[in-house]
Amino acid sequence: MSRGTRTPWWAPYLFIAPFAVAFCVFTAYPLFESIVMAFLQTSGPKRSEYVGLSNFSWMWEDPDFHKAVRNTVIFACGSIFIQLPCSLGLALLLNRPDIKGRAFWRMIFFAPSLVGLAFVAILAGLVFEKNTGLLNVALHQVIWFDPEFPWLQEYVMPALIISAFWMYVGFNMVYFLAALQNVNTDLLEAAQVDGAGPLHRFRHVTIPAIRPVATFVILLSLIGSFQLFELPYLLLNNSGGPDNQGLTIVMYLYQKGFDWGDLGYASAVGWVLALLLSVFAIIQRILSKTEVA
């Protein structure tokens, strides 16, 4: 076959053009610019002053930044150690061959993730209200829970983790459910015949089969958790909440960059965040490589 003779040379360039242009203008150039900006102190997009490394040293010493990092890590742990196991549990239940109405259950569990974070935050603002909020009223009726439990005053992080749990538990379940299709049922049956108990089969047959998707979901959760913004920002009325209890890294970035107008400092925060995330990505890559070997 005479390959390529009839292909005009410009065709691939025409097709890649939208990506190339948008990438250069709105990703590559800003990325380059943000390296420069990280060493500047600015007020608004117009005025700026070179300050060397002092953006980073200020961050290193700012107790608010420490709080933001701590809160973000707590939230990420909540996602990975509470939410994901529940997602996997639900997926295992729905994956049973004798389950009735699988699509129906999946639809219900999946629905909250269609609601935007901003709207979940607005709804959560009412649900977690002291005295009158749905959660305290319901818990009081069912288990005599303290109706004055101060979620949004003293327990902001648990409130955030619960909100995110409601929103994403079904979303992550969908990934696990898809991954469970890769589990070799012959192998499961063979293990059963050989007398392996359910826990044993889960550990040695199911887990290895879903491992690639599981590491992907964990990485996705980490990246999402580390960029948490809308939920606390709107739940706590555009602030970090009492005592900055709900301040996250991206909220901190937003406050410095857009409330204070120091885009230089915000860029520096952005680079620290990117560095943290790339560490996770590298760890994930190493982990998935050693599994293959």
Partner 1 sequence: MFRKLAVYTPLTLFAAITLVPFLYLACSSLKTNDVFFSSPFLPIDSAWWDINWSGLTLDNFKRLFQEAGIGRAIVNSFFFASTMAVLGTLGSAMGGYALAKFNFLGRGMFTNIVLTALIIPGALLLAPGYKVLYTLGLLDSYAGLILPGVAPAFGVFLFRQAFVSGLPTEMMEAGRIDGCGEVRMFFQLALPMVRPMVGAFLLITYLGTWNNFIGPQIVLQTPEKYPLAVAVAQLRGPYGSEYGMIMAGTIVAILPVLILFLMLQKDFIAGLTAGSVKG
Tokens describing residue 145: 């829970």
Structure tokens that stand for 289 in this block: 């490589």
Count of CB atoms situated within 10 Å of the CB of 160 = 27
Question: Which segments of 128-248 does DSSP mark as H helices, in order?
Answer: 134-143, 151-154, 156-180, 185-193, 198-201, 207-226, 230-235
| Closest separation in Å from C-beta 30 to partner 1 | 4
If the CB atoms of residues 121 and 152 are measured against partner 1, the closer one turns out to be 121
Min dist. Cβ of residue 234 to partner 1 (A): 6
User: How would you class 137 by CB atoms within 10 Å of its CB: exposed for 0-12, middle for 13-18, buried for 19 or more?
Assistant: middle
Q: Which is nearer to partner 1, 37 or 159 (CB)?
A: 37
Other CB atoms within 10 Å distance of the CB of residue 62? 14
Least Å distance, CB 105 to partner 1, is 6
Q: Which one, 156 or 250, has the nearer CB to partner 1? A: 250
Instruction: Please tell me what DSSP assigns to residue 43.
Output: E
Q: Which is nearer to partner 1, 156 or 168 (CB)?
A: 168
List the beta bridge partners of residue 224: none
Report the half-sphere exposure of 279 (CA within 13 A, side-chain side): 6
How far apart are CB 215 and partner 1 at their closest, in Å?
Answer: 10
Q: How far is the CB of 72 from partner 1 (least distance, A)?
A: 11
Q: How far is the CB of 157 from partner 1 (least distance, A)?
A: 20
Other Cβ atoms less than 10 A from the Cβ of 149: the count is 18
Q: Are 236 and 156 in contact (CB under 8 A)?
A: yes
| CA–CA separation, 235 and 119 (whole Å) | 10
